[in-house]
Structure formats: C-alpha cells, structure tokens
Amino acid sequence: MLSRWKRFVYLLRCSYYVSEVEAKPQLQQYRSAFVFGSWIRRLPKPQTVFSDRTRRTLHTSSPSMVKLLSVEELFARRSLQEHLKKMEMEYGDCLWAVSSSGPEEQCSEDQLRTKRTKVSLLAPLVQSIRELDAKQKEIAETEILLKDEDPALRELAELERENCVQDIRDLRQKILELLIPEEEADLSDLVLEVTAGVGGQEAMLFTAEMFDMYQGFAQHHGWSFDVLEHMTSDIGGLRHASASISGSQSYKKMKFEAGVHRVQRVPKTEKQGRMHTSTMTVAVLPQPTEISFTINPKDLRIDTKRASGAGGQHVNTTDSAVRIVHLPTGVVAECQQERSQLKNREKAMKALRAKLYGMKLEEETSKRSNQRKIQIGTKGRSEKIRTYNFAQDRITDHRIGMTVHDIKSFLLGEDLLDEMNSSLQEFSDQETLMELLEESSQEVS
C-alpha cells in the first residue's frame, strides 16, 4: 500500500494524463488534506517523451472536442442498426420492382432506371450486411463449443472464434465505408493556390515553404505538379503561386488543406530574436472535366501582355502572358510560366475552370447545409485551420485538435502530412455518417 503522501503525489502527476472528470474528485480530497503549497509548486511536471521518428505522439489538444468513435461504438448505436435495416428493405423493394413482370406492377421507364441504379448501388452494402449477420450467428455457435469438455474441440473453437472476430471487424469497417457517399469532386484533379497573408516578408517566406511542401506531397504520391503562377518576393519568398495537380485521389487527399495556415517563429529578418506570428492562405479547387462543366466562350475576355520577371530577351519581346476574365462573375485567371502564348492560355483556362467550378460547388453545398456541425468546418479561407509553432516543434490542426511534432519532417510533405490528412478524413467521414443517421431517423419519425 502507498502512503497517503505518495498516493497524493502519484495522483497529482497522473492528473496531467487522465481526464479532468476522473482526476478532479480524487485530487480535491488530497488537496484538502495537505497544505504544503510550496511543495506542490516544486513538483516537476511530467515531460512528453518522444520515441524514434517512425512512431509519433498524437493527441487532441482540446478536451471539448468530439471523440472519434470506434467501429464497435458506432455499431452499438441503435440509429445505425435501424438505418442498415432500412437499406435492406429499400434494396428488397427496388429489386422486386425491377424483376416483377406483372403488368399492374409496371413502372415508367424513368422509375425503373432509378430503381436499377439503386439496386446496383445498394448491392455491395446489403451483401456485406448479410455476411456480417452470418458471421455473428457463427460466432454465437462457436461460443457454445468453447464450453465443451473436450480440450481439442475447445482449442479448435477458440481458433475459429478469433477468425470470426477478425472477419466481423473487417465487415463492419467495410459497411461503414459503403455507407458514406462518395463526393463527385473527390474524383477530380485540382488547382492549388497559395497566397501570403499577414506578416510581410516573413509571410511570403512561409508561403514559399508551404508551396514546396505541397510539391513534395504531390511527388510523394506520384502526382503531376504543374506550376501555373509563381510571383516571388525580393528575398526569395512567394506573394502568390498556383499549380495544377493531377493524380489518383489528389483532390480527396488535399481538400482539407484549404484555409488559413499560421506560423509562429523567429523570422530570418528579425534582428532582436522576437517571435512573430504570420499567416498564409491555401485554396484547393477541384478541377472539373469538360463533360461536367462547360464555359460559354462569349463570356470570356482574353488579354495578352508581355511577361514580367526573369526570362531574358524573350520577356521583353513576346506577348506570351495570358489573362482571362469571366465577365459574368469577374473571376480572373492568369498564366505567364510558358514561352508559348497557346500553352499559357491553356493553363489559364484550366485555372479559371477550377475557380468557377469551386464557386458552383460552394453554392450547392450552402443550399444543402448552412454550417457543418463538428470539426472539419467549411474549409473556407477565413478559418485558421492549422498552426506551425517552430519554438515547440509542433503542428496543431485546430479542427480536430490533433498535434504532431517534428516540423522539419512535416514540411517535406511526406508521411506526417499524410497522417494528418488521413485523420481529417476519418473525422469528416464520421461527421458525414452521423448526419446521415440523423436524417434517416428524422425520416422514420
């Protein structure tokens, strides 16, 4: 048994790790029994220990953040079970309608087409639900065999039970993934825009680092990264830059980067060693296909001019820079990266299409929902989504309260940035699922 004082010290140190709800009642009990305030002040705070760089500490910085529920917790919810039953019934009704040959049951061609589409969409989900039901019955039968007197039979039953548990876990995960609808824009390529914000030259230097990070992220995933605009500052920073990124799931993995990024560090331009706070903004615009989005050529004004910046005699003698204005909206896109006016026009048009398509998607999203309720937010430029604190060597995403350490590795745009975006995707998927279940419950009631 620990002495009363040792128990007090142990609880005090643990209070940094356990939740306030659990620790507070016990701490109050011992604080009332001890009045050694100076002793308490001298107690060392436990330090976070970081292991090798292949394993990193992740935690939520705000205790008020909504917890990311496990698969088991989600399946324990009555609303999810009711929604799965509803999907099975809907699948059965649609399947019966398209396979029925009775004249009195005939639907119009449009209705039949809709039901066939619904059947094809729901078939993988319903099949997984039925497989899950079969596995749950199988594990119930295995539990009975575990009580058998024969040791060999019990050993086989235990092995079978472990296999069933793993199959059930995999099927549940698959069902959750099938429940979350795929966004049309997730299949798109994208146009990335970075712009220096508050902080002068330091903001521009940070913008250049961020642009390099995203170029590294594209390279890490094997995507193409085609620079459209690149406006540099006097000391090597970036005022504004944009790039076209193409590759598998590029928009899906990049979309949560949109917003205001904040950096806290001592700038290279600072002579007195003071910490500065600067910002830059990121815009991630899905790149539509020609089929999904068209622009009327009559709505465009295309201007050409001589490119500015480095480039030698060619810059001063050729009108290669292209500026396109979409007259109905006033949206502008420019490009002067290539020597060919035709290529610059093609790239500027790509950027313009992405901007207009982004505006269209934003309008449609606002019609469906005025405000996202949990962490992910609207991904708008006005939100401060992430802080890069160089003094503490940490990056904190404020939407989900997630913190990772090792800024140098993070800015390479490789595994750590991938980790962060995967976590954001998990929270977004769960948010979408909870909204889906809520809508389903309201329809039933």
Mean pLDDT of the chain: 77
The total of other beta-carbon atoms located within 10 Å of residue 263's CB is 26
Encode pLDDT of 222-242 as tens digits.
Answer: 999 999 889 998 888 999 999
Split the chain (445 residues) into runs of 10 and give each run's mean pLDDT: 42 39 37 32 33 35 59 90 91 85 60 85 93 92 84 86 92 92 81 91 94 96 92 89 92 92 87 87 81 76 74 54 88 84 85 83 56 36 81 93 94 95 91 87 71
Q: Which residues contact 141 (CB under 8 A, 6 or more apart)?
A: none
243 φ, ψ (degrees, to nearest 5): -150, 150
pTM of the model: 0.65
How far is CA 82 from each of CA 2, 78, 89, 109, 209, rounded to the nearest angstrom?
Answer: 50, 6, 11, 31, 49
73 burial level (CB within 10 Å; 0-12, 13-18, 19+): exposed
DSSP-assigned beta bridge partners for residue 286: 190
d(CA 404, CA 98): 52
Encode pLDDT of 137-176 as tens digits.
Answer: 998 888 888 887 888 888 888 898 899 999 999 999 999 9
